[in-house]
A = this chain, B = another copy of it.
Amino acid sequence: MELIGAKLSRIEPGIVEITVPYRTDLTQQHGYLHAGVITTIADSACGYAAYSLMPAGSEVLSVEFKVNLLRSAKGIEFLARAEVIKPGKTLTVVRADVFGLTADQGQQTLIASMLGTMFCISR
């Protein structure tokens, strides 16, 4: 997360947003944000969103996720918004959308969508 300059920009029970600014060393061969970075912020947002509903002292692990890369990842900043669709004692299912933001933040373009499963390690 630090390596790619990502930061938590919103935390509510069951909803988390993570943003990462564009950086040339985060791009793939066509100059767009690398799928690995998109996936990293989406997965992290899913993990935090699940974690936000877990009992104090719990830890969260990603079991699995699936991501569809929908459009070229263009933008000056990227936003992953995760929302829990099924909380659970052991497993929590989370959906995340990733958006590319324009300079004036006037437009959000959906560039990826994730559906994943998070595991709660109870203490």
Q: A86 at the A/B interface (Cβ < 8 Å)? A: yes
Q: A113 at the A/B interface (Cβ < 8 Å)? A: yes
What interface size band does chain A fall in? 35 or more
Complex copy number for this chain: 4
Q: Which of A35, A43, A93 has the most CB of B within 10 A?
A: A35
Contact A63 B86 (CB under 8 A): no
Contact B113 A85 (CB under 8 A): yes
Sampled A-B contacts (23; CB under 8 Å): A2-B25, A3-B3, A3-B4, A3-B25, A29-B59, A30-B59, A36-B39, A36-B41, A36-B43, A37-B40, A39-B43, A64-B64, A64-B67, A64-B68, A65-B67, A68-B93, A85-B110, A85-B113, A86-B110, A90-B90, A93-B113, A95-B113, A115-B115
Chain A residues numbered 1-45 whose CB sits less than 8 Å from any CB in chain B:
1-4, 25-26, 29-30, 34-37, 39-41, 43-44
